[in-house]
Amino acid sequence: MLHQPPDTTIDLDEFDVLSLAIAGRSDVGKKRSENQDHYLIADLRRQLTIRDTDVDHSDCGNELFGCQEGHLLVVADGMGGHADGEKASRIAVEASARYVLDMMHWFLKLTVSEEDDFVDELSQCLIAIQEKLWSESTDGIRTMGTTVTMAYILPPKMYVVHAGDSRCYLIRDKEIQQLTTDHTIAQQMITDGGFEKDDPSLRHWRHVLWNCVGASDKLVRPEAIRTELKAGDRVLLCSDGLSGVLNDETILETVLEAGSCEQASEMLINRANEAGGPDNITAVISEVGSHESDPCEK
């Protein structure tokens, strides 16, 4: 008798009641002369273009689209202390979109092993971005650097890869959780022990990165997170121009107060500027809803 292996498939069809509303905004802030932040919001879906047929397809046209498969969110914060920070973050956003489109497999049903491969491949995207930055460097000097925080949402799953001190937050049941780790010397000192989060002696280390994309010959070390979303969840990607001046409680209150994703991103930017706006500010926020309701709308 043939042995029937256990079914480890993650059937995403049963989760097709989930939908996603997304909005993003970036602002130069009050102190900078140039915005070195960039962001991306993209929907990924299958597409078929009919080149020729003798079948009447006037009802659907020449392009057919399959079910929407995924959503790509990216925030990149170019390192102003290095050469071409704006260029670095722009290249990062462009390269991430190209990598996901050209290199990554499409998954509708994932086994556990395939999901692991998916996360590995998404992490490889940051290495591909770094190689692109290296190839664009002048005179072989690898000084261009940027943070990259990327979320690939395939409802109900979300996969995040990250390097630097931009952040990904999950807001659920009126609570906020930082999913990513700040790759700063200060956070490393806190994690290693001996320092409290608000220790004033860490002030000079809060924006010194030990891990980012580019900026040196050191290979980036992607941090990967996976989680499962449910209706009502909100996901926020932001640069440190936001999280550096607004604490988690203020971010939470602002998002919950907003009536839509568009309004939430605008309110977050405004409040960061009201707090001084010392850096560029970027916020990309999404809300998970059901098709029966209009997500992000009250």
Domain boundaries, the chain: 10-43+65-175+212-289
State the residue for tokens 């273009």: 49
pLDDT in tens, the chain (298 residues): 334 444 434 444 444 557 899 999 999 999 999 999 999 999 988 777 888 888 876 777 777 776 667 899 999 999 866 668 999 999 999 999 999 888 766 555 556 677 888 889 899 999 999 999 999 877 677 888 999 999 999 888 999 999 999 999 999 999 999 999 999 888 888 787 777 777 677 777 777 899 999 988 889 999 999 999 999 999 999 999 999 999 999 999 999 999 999 999 999 999 999 999 999 999 999 999 976 544 444 4
| Overall fold of domain 10-43+65-175+212-289 | Phosphatase 2c; domain 1 (3.60.40)
Task: Return the pLDDT at 198.
Answer: 74
Task: Return the pLDDT at 106.
Answer: 59
CA distance 142 to 83: 9
Backbone torsions φ then ψ of 126, nearest 5 degrees: -65, -35
Task: Return the pLDDT at 128.
Answer: 94
Burial category of 106 from C-beta neighbours within 10 Å (exposed 0-12, middle 13-18, buried 19 and up) = exposed
Beta carbons of 62 and 54 less than 8 angstroms apart = no
Task: Return the pLDDT at 67.
Answer: 64
State the residue for tokens 């004033």: 200
Determine the number of helices (DSSP H) and then strands (DSSP E) in the chain: 6, 13
- C-alpha dist (Å) from residue 82 to 31, 59, 241: 18, 54, 17
CA distance 165 to 211: 9
Whole-prediction pTM value? 0.86
Task: Return the pLDDT at 47.
Answer: 75
CA distance 115 to 137: 34
Task: Return the pLDDT at 194.
Answer: 74
